[in-house]
Amino acid sequence: MRVGLGYDSHRLLPGRPLKLGGVEVPSPLGTVGHSDADVVLHAVVDALLGAAGLGDIGEWFPDTDPRWHGADSAVFVSETLRRLAEKGFQVYQTDIIILAETPRLGPYKERIRQRLAELLGLPPDRVNIKAKTSEGMGAIGRSEGIACQALVALVEAP
């Protein structure tokens, strides 16, 4: 078994869409980034790559490459899973922490979990989603940004 840790953060601005784990979440504030700025999928991709010893998301999907401008981050997940399969790995489990003051994510956690399970080819009971606030502290607490930490476990494919 191999374990990887991923992290991502993006600024929040009014009038932008907010995608988390492949799910559009209604919010007056959305993420800013080169692709769709989905902090959950970016953190998961970083964790997957790290567990496999394949570097990080910026090496494979650089924000300097116009191919990824506005890209759906689900493409990053599928491409990363293809690379993992080539190396003989499959995803076993993931545990996610989304750090956001706003919007409140409780009502969306199950949809995010289901979508992430679908993208990773996992049963939903191997995907865990937690949402935390920063209790008003720092940039996240002031709703200036959103962040995500992801932990994944890989196993050798049968």
The model's pTM is 0.95
Structure confidence at residue 10 (pLDDT):
96
State the distance between the two ends of the chain, measured CA to CA, in whole angstroms: 13
- pLDDT attached to residue 52: 97
3-state secondary structure of 11: strand
Q: What is the pLDDT of residue 53?
A: 97
Q: What is the DSSP code (8-state) at residue 80?
A: H
pLDDT of amino acid 22: 97
pLDDT given at position 66: 86
- Please list, in sequence order, all residues whose beta carbon lies within 8 angstroms of the beta carbon of residue 4, skipping any fewer than 6 positions away: 46, 47, 48, 49, 50, 51, 52, 151, 152, 154
What pLDDT does 93 receive?
98
**pLDDT at position 136:** 92
Q: What is the pLDDT of residue 157?
A: 87
Runs of H (alpha helix) within the chain: 39-51, 57-60, 74-86, 109-120, 138-141
One-character DSSP codes across 37-76: --HHHHHHHHHHHHHTT---HHHHS-TT-GGGTT--THHH
Residue 69: its pLDDT value, please?
87
Mean pLDDT by 10 residues, the chain (158 residues): 97 95 96 94 98 95 88 96 97 98 94 98 98 94 96 94
Predicted local distance difference test score (pLDDT) of residue 63: 87
Distance (Å, whole) CA 52 – CA 48: 6
pLDDT of residue 70: 84
